Amino acid sequence: MKVNSKTVVVTGAAKGIGRELTLMLLAKGARVAAVDMDEKALEETRELAGKMEGRLSLHNVNVSEREAVEQLPDAVIAAHGAVDAIINNAGIIQPFVKINALDYAVIDKVMKVNFYGSLYMIKTFLPHLLKRPTAHIANVSSMGGFLPVPGQGIYGASKAALKLMTEALYSELKNTNVRVSIIFPGGVGTNIAANSGIEVPSMNSNGKKYKMLEPVKAAELIINGIEKDKFRILVGSDSRFMDFMYRLSPKYATDLISKQMKNLLKE
């Protein structure tokens, strides 16, 4: 689906990849409904939009709250006249601790934002998308959604659940006007840890800084994939490499990522 002249809803739009998606979509001629629970950062995104802000609407919504999400379509349609696509980008990580040490409140929060937030968006917007000549649903999973990362077991489970649900959705919508993409970012230089309330040292097992993909490049790869109606969008060389390695040997890939990430895991 070409995004020019289309209305796209982007969650997690106030910062990181979501902000870059919003700005890039506007630059390509789209109308954007930017959704985030951080009202101040949303206003910063509006300022960065500059002369393009006439095609931008801001929606201060927590996607983990179903009732709030269910009010979004009316607000988006009132602002833009229709909705043609949603990009479920909002997400948080967990503290880098083993599952046995993870508090149930944290587990619930991660699942609510990463899985249920996307589910609420899909079920709320899909009836409207099915009425459009062409439409798109893009869900941002993670490299951790197909590759187990020690210390991120619940985060990975939430993203794996989103992956499988998206693949089922793709099958269910094959004979409709709605295309579906699942997105797997690797390491991207965002503030997801700080936004999740977590401090994470940016070191691998050798004590060297892990090179992250720039958010603007991640956004470019995602939008290009959406415009080509790609089913799977691998974002970053690390995601592409580990996707290949995990298909080749799941145990080897699991041991490799465990070795690389061991310095981040709290006992």
The full set of domains in the chain, from first to last, is 7-264 (3.40.50.720)
* Mean pLDDT along residues 96-111: 95
* pLDDT score of 196: 41
Residue 209 pairs in a beta bridge with: 203
Dihedral of alpha carbons 223, 45, 47, 56, sign: positive
Nearest to 189 by CA among 165, 220, 214, 207: 214
Q: What share of the chain in percent tops pLDDT 90?
A: 85
At 260, is the pLDDT very low, low, confident or very high (cuts 50, 70, 90)? confident
DSSP assigned state of 88: E
* Mean pLDDT along residues 44-73: 98
Question: What are the tens digits of pLDDT across the range 238-247?
Answer: 999 999 999 9
Q: Is 153 a residue whose pLDDT tops 60?
A: yes
Question: What are the tens digits of pLDDT across the range 202-235?
Answer: 544 444 555 789 999 999 999 999 999 999 999 9
* pLDDT score of 42: 98
Angle CA 249–217–230, to nearest 5: 60
Q: Residues 123, 137: contact at Cβ < 8 Å? A: no
* pLDDT score of 253: 94
* pLDDT score of 87: 98
**Distance separating alpha carbons of residues 69 and 46, to the nearest angstrom:** 21
Which H helix or E strand runs over 139?
Answer: strand 135-140
Q: Is 195 a residue whose pLDDT tops 60?
A: no
- pLDDT averaged over every residue in the chain: 92
* pLDDT score of 164: 98
